[in-house]
């Protein structure tokens, strides 16, 4: 049912502030595009984010690959988030016991919880990982995604593992706002489905990544957000701004068209 309802209508059903804000801004900005920016220099990261900003609802980071990370990067990231109206998703993939992930989320050099609206975790340790992350993130209004499936060939996140991830999320709906997954799952609850492995021009990357088109992901599989990396920013530290902007708009339009078709608008 969630797949045919509009993002705006679904926003009202979420108590979690990050989920609500994300759905509202997707509707306002007419975009279900998350750009994943996997570059290693602060200047490249900020340049690419500024270029794609107008086209995206969410920017996904791997902050631990930035070689010259500093406090100023966080300030600039937050500035771009306000300037362009998008949320920040640190793709940290926590995977430890509750006490450890609480420390990894709040402390260390990156202090992820202080700036990232959304983060994610592998369900492999069991529900304690949610309790640990929620102890830090919930008071700050953050949201968590569980990796119920992965886009890579041969992933072990399938079958009974995926079902167990869904059950864990159901028990913590106030903090777990959805999944990294390849399709929408049946069920009464509305969860956000964010899907990586999206590309229009190639089918894989020679290292296990598998790409589907925005139309397959949003229309055929009922997912909510397409996560696109190299298909938009290119290789290495990124293509020229004009190319990046054009690619971001190309994916935004494809994703939005598929959403309008799915919701009968």
Supply the residues annotated as catalytic.
Answer: 93
Helix or strand holding residue 8 (H, E): helix 7-11
Of residues 62-101, those binding ligand BMP (CB under 6 A): 62, 91
CB of 35 to ligand BMP, least distance (A): 9
Is residue 237 close enough to count as binding ligand BMP by CB under 6 A?
no
Of residues 143-162, those binding ligand BMP (CB under 6 A): 150-152
Is residue 61 close enough to count as binding ligand BMP by CB under 6 A?
no
CB of 165 to ligand BMP, least distance (A): 13
Of residues 166-185, those binding ligand BMP (CB under 6 A): 180
With CB under 6 A, what is the number of residues at the site for ligand BMP?
16
The span from the CA of 131 to the CA of 70, in Å, is 29
Q: Are 52 and 31 in contact (CB under 8 A)?
A: no
Is residue 230 close enough to count as binding ligand BMP by CB under 6 A?
yes
Query: What is the total residue count of the chain?
Result: 265
What angle (nearest 5°) sits at the alpha carbon of residue 121, between those of residues 118 and 126?
135
Helix or strand holding residue 177 (H, E): strand 176-180
Nearer to ligand BMP, 122 or 262 (CB): 122
Nearer to ligand BMP, 24 or 232 (CB): 232
The span from the CA of 180 to the CA of 187, in Å, is 16
CB of 9 to ligand BMP, least distance (A): 27
DSSP 184: P
**119 phi and psi, to 5 degrees?**
-140, 180
Site stretch for ligand BMP (CB under 6 A), options 21-29, 185-193, 215-223, 226-234 = 226-234
Is residue 214 close enough to count as binding ligand BMP by CB under 6 A?
no
| 115: three-class secondary structure by DSSP | coil
Site stretch for ligand BMP (CB under 6 A), options 20-28, 135-143, 224-232, 247-255 = 224-232
Q: Are 109 and 118 in contact (CB under 8 A)?
A: no
The span from the CA of 135 to the CA of 193, in Å, is 23
Binding site for ligand BMP (CB under 6 A): 36, 38, 62, 91, 150-152, 180, 196-197, 209, 227-231
């Amino acid at each position: 049912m969630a797949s045919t309802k509009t993002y705006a209508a679904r926003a009202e059903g979420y108590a979690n502030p990050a989920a609500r804000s994300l759905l509202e801004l997707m509707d306002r900005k007419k975009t279900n595009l998350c750009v994943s920016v996997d570059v290693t220099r602060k200047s490249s990261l900020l340049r690419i984010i500024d270029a794609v900003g107008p086209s995206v609802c969410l920017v996904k980071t791997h902050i631990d690959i930035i070689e010259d990370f500093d406090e100023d990067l966080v300030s600039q990231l937050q500035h771009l988030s306000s300037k362009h109206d998008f949320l920040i998703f640190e793709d940290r993939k926590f995977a430890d016991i509750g006490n450890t992930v609480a420390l990894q989320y709040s402390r260390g050099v990156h202090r992820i919880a202080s700036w990232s609206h959304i983060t994610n975790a592998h369900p492999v340790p069991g529900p304690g990982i949610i309790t640990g992350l929620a102890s830090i993130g919930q008071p700050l209004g953050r949201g968590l995604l569980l990796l119920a499936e992965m886009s890579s060939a041969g992933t072990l996140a399938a079958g009974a593992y995926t079902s167990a991830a869904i059950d864990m999320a159901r028990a913590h709906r106030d903090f777990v706002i959805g999944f990294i997954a390849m399709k929408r799952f049946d069920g009464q609850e509305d969860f956000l489905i964010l899907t990586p492995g999206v590309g229009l021009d190639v089918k894989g990357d020679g290292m296990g990544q598998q790409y589907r088109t925005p139309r397959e992901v949003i229309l055929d599989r009922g997912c909510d957000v397409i996560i696109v990396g190299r298909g938009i920013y290119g290789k290495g530290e990124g293509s020229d701004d004009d190319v990046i902007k054009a690619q971001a708009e190309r994916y935004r339009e494809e994703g939005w068209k598929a959403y309008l078709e799915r919701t009968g608008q």
